[in-house]
Amino acid sequence: MIYMFVDSIIIGIIASLIMGGSLQQLVTVKLNHPWLIAVSFIIQFGAIYIFLEYLLMSVCASNIGLLIFCLVNYKDKGFKYMVIGIFMNLLVMLANKGRMPVDVQAAKALSPEDFPAFMAGEYGKHIPISAHTHLNFLGDIFFLQYPYPRPIIISLGDIVLSIGVILFLYKAMAKSNKKSKEVVGYGG
């Protein structure tokens, strides 16, 4: 999720700039409790790379932190989609004891060197989709390749979350552009 989140920020900023948005306006955006994002990702990465035995608890805490962040900022455009996307990812991971089911063929193509660990269930929070995993349609089943800048496997929840991030960034960056055009229009 973190890689797609970062990609969404980059895509959202670039698309907003192309559509006339302003980075200066983005800097002025005030969000409630932005520290929740950092804490949530630290908790999840800590569990994945240090305390794997606490994965389920950490995934829950991490996603709840992200949901709280989104809910306290819900008035801003895009956060509704972020809440839905995070909830979709949390739901599938809860159904699979903190793990995200991943399409086997996509995982093999993406990272052949890590494939044996992945198949053994020893690759972070990811497990192979099988008859024993649940809500597979919400798992990492979409394999993005060229022309996407780098290969990545994402879930439906990641896509919905990304739409929310991009919408939020566009609205945040486009605000000043509309206001400045109105002011210029009256002055000329």
pLDDT at residue 79 tops 90: yes
Identify the H or E element spanning 140.
Answer: strand 140-144
For the chain, what is the mean pLDDT? Answer: 88
The whole-number pLDDT of residue 6 equals: 87
pLDDT digits (tens, 9 = 90+) for 34-76: 999 999 989 988 877 777 778 888 889 999 999 999 999 988 8
Q: pTM of the prediction?
A: 0.86
pLDDT of 184 strictly over 70? no
For the chain, the structural domain boundaries read 2-174
Residue 122 in this model has a pLDDT that exceeds 90? no
Token pair of 41 as six digits: 């990702």
Q: What stretch of H or E contains 102?
A: strand 100-102
